[in-house]
Structure 1
């Protein structure tokens, strides 16, 4: 029999609905696995065995009484530790907030639990979201389940590692300059940074308000669609939340991609590690075999994205952390402290110029989408690196290399879906990102699902 921890929510839901599988049995299987192997991976900061089992028993009783709520009912979910959870500590991966107990639950988590999801625990993350390696000197450096000597990506590295190791069925993540998509690529899973404002960030600790996105991380495109069906929607308590029609994100998953136009910006073809270049060219050929029309496109304005992303992220982060940087400077991990201090010396003219560059980027993307349906690119230009002892310098270098690839979708607020692209010569996975126009998540999932089927053949 297939082990329960390897199954997706899409595979588990029919078993739970038909009572062939109990939510308690499923939850216990994954909690036992956390007990057995997470001491070497460090994907969780706060496992919640008692709460998870209590929720699983409630779900079991509801399903037994014919009150099945839908495909999340009884599904175990790991929550990144920057989403507030009422009565459960939310550290944001930091020493400063080690004992923080929120009085409210983040809107996105509320929706997932309201749909019957089971909260397994709070997942490890790069401190305050300020890095892409998930090194964390307070709660343990998260390791990549594919090879424990390698990094899992960050800042949602606990979310990516938990999925890759079978320590959660679904997880939540956040993405300000790549924090969902980088661990998705390095851990070989699926991660969606939605359209800005589509998923509420109410109750999510900010890194940079105008760039922060919350989204789903899973082991399949259909699971992304299930999570998004519940997570998306207007929230009057979130000033960035948008009112937009919400489609059934699962309805087009099995549609083919013949005739769709995929643009490959030349910007994303420079500076690729050889393995990434080879896998990406193979992916493009596969899209063409599936009937898509692939063309190289030029978006010279993309060169502005690193400046815009770096200045806005560090500037807004330094604003949020202003008092703590004065009072608790030594409580920050050194790499994050350097990152935030850089923002503290950002000038108002630099910040305004960065926002102007961002507006230029938005216009350039709009123009590109007049000619193509989506853009495709490697998620990151590098193969997953080994964890190094000089982790402070390593995080800054990985951020420098990856940010030009991931920050454009944050600056423009457009959705970007990272899908597994194959294995590199070091035996670790990498990813490809599909970037769409605003509110094109349904189309991205359709293309991502078509791609996913090729990985299974």
Structure 2
């Protein structure tokens, strides 16, 4: 039998609904993997085995009585620590919110639970989705499951790690300037940042009010689709059946003026995606776009000002309760002139329209998921996202949807990825395109389990004591 962590969400949920396997057995399996592997990975801040087993037992009881469960029946999930889960701590990896326990679920969490999802715990993240990777927080930083000394991406680092390591099958993450897509890229999984206002943000800690988005991280395009639809409050449709044939895939002319910053392994991943697309019958269309700096500069100004408006006063009032990186980043916006902030606001609809016009004749825009493979965790530049233009912030500034997915491995064995951006309300189209890449060349575009994390842990490692329950 295929290991549970390698099953699709669609398959495993169908097995639970058909009572071919109990939700308790599924939950026990994944809790065992957490016990065995997460001490090294630090993917979870707050494992919740008792609550997870209670939820799984309740689901089994309901199914045994003839009830009908939803699309996530028995599916193990992690939830970023900045999103509220009723009854669990919700500190956002920050000492400033130590002792805070959520009294209600965030709306998207409630929808995932209502569909049968089992929350295994709160996923690690950068402090309040902004300060990291940090070594001076209540929780150590999450580590990349492909190499524990490498950066797993952020700020939704635990979401990428827990999914890639097979500690769960899906995760709820957030994205303000790439925080879903960067961990997905660096951990070798799928991550969708939906369009602005597509999913509700209530019950999720605010970082930058107009730049924040919430979305799913998963192991396949179809898993990502199911999670997205559930989070949107609708029933997922059937799996996509199609190909890349006839698609028009846009690529920025002149590598969007950042060719000097693109690592050779990333360029090879982009070239490989283009080669596969062409071989499958897609057209590659060079697009003349506003420079990446035109988006990056006002997007960064807007984000830093909004972060300061939300957090600077709290940092100054309780300095020692925040990590050094969060303190430094949260105060930057106070030094930005008001007229620069207003200009960034005024440019937003202008640049959004220019991008929309440029993409009017293509199905998506193909760009790197990150400009370089994961580097050493201990030496990540605290202001890497401000120094050079990055493609990720474009989708947050414009509100367009974007999806990151695996595109092979670099010379050092670390994952590299690509992302596709679409026009508003094209999330499903992006998922169809990613699934077509995944089907066309699974050796390159499908997620894999990192070495050493395959299979069920040895019994001696499984120390979780399960409560005695009558089924």
User: Aligned to 1:303, which of 282, 293, 299?
Assistant: 293
Deviates more, 1:436-445 or 1:301-310: 301-310
SS of alignment partner, residue 146 of structure 1: coil
Are 2:409 and 1:423 equivalent residues in the alignment?
yes
The 5 A counterparts of 1:366-385 are 366-385=356-375
Residue 43 of structure 2 is aligned to residue 43 of structure 1 = yes
Find the aligned partners of 2:442 and 2:135 in 1 and give their Cα distance. 32
1:85-131 C-alpha deviation (Å, 9 max, x unpaired): 22211011111012111222110001000111101000100001115
TM-score (norm 2): 0.90
Instruction: Give the distance between the partners of 1:402 and 1:48, measured in 2 at CA.
Output: 39
Aligned-residue offset at 1:136:
6.2
Q: Say whether the 8 Å CA contact 2:211–2:303 is kept in structure 1.
A: yes
Relative to structure 1, the CA distance from residue 218 to residue 160 in structure 2 (aligned partners, 3 Å threshold; closer, same or farther) is same
The answer to which of 62-71 and 162-171 deviates more is: 62-71
- 1:198 partnered with 2:221: no
Matched, 1:348 2:335: no
Q: Does structure 1 retain, via aligned residues, the 8 Å contact 2:126–2:157?
A: yes
Name the counterpart of 1:87: 87
Q: Which residue of 2 aligns with 1:52?
A: 52
In the alignment, the residues of structure 2 paired with residue 7 and residue 455 of structure 1 have an alpha-carbon distance, to the nearest angstrom, of 19
CA contact (8 A) 1:226 1:249 kept: yes
CA distance in 2, matches of 1:274, 1:76: 36
Partner of 2:161 in structure 1? 161
TM-score by length of 1: 0.92
1:259 is the counterpart of 2:259: no
What SS is found at the alignment partner of 1:100?
coil
Match of 2:457 in 1: none
Q: 1:57 to 1:137 in 2, by over 3 A?
A: same
Q: CA deviation at 1:403?
A: 5.8
SS of corresponding position for 2:172: strand
Find the counterpart in structure 1 of residue 273 from structure 2: 283
Cα separation, partners in 2 of 1:189 and 1:344, compared to 1, 3 Å? same
Name the count of aligned residue pairs: 440
Match of 2:117 in 1: 117
Task: State the match for 1:236 in structure 2.
Answer: none
1:252, 1:442 within 8 Å by CA — same for their partners in 2? no
Structure 1 unaligned regions, length at least 5? 234-245
Residue 190 and residue 403 in structure 1: after superposition, are their counterparts in 2 closer, same or farther (change >3 A)? Answer: farther
Aligned equivalent of 1:437, options 418, 423, 433: 423
Instruction: Give how far 1:78 is off.
Output: 0.5
Note if contact 2:312-2:330 (Cα within 8 Å) is conserved in structure 1: no
Aligned-pair CA distance for 1:69: 1.9
Alignment partners' CA distance in 2, 1:80 and 1:352 = 32
| RMSD, aligned α-carbons | 1.7
2:119 alignment partner, SS class: strand
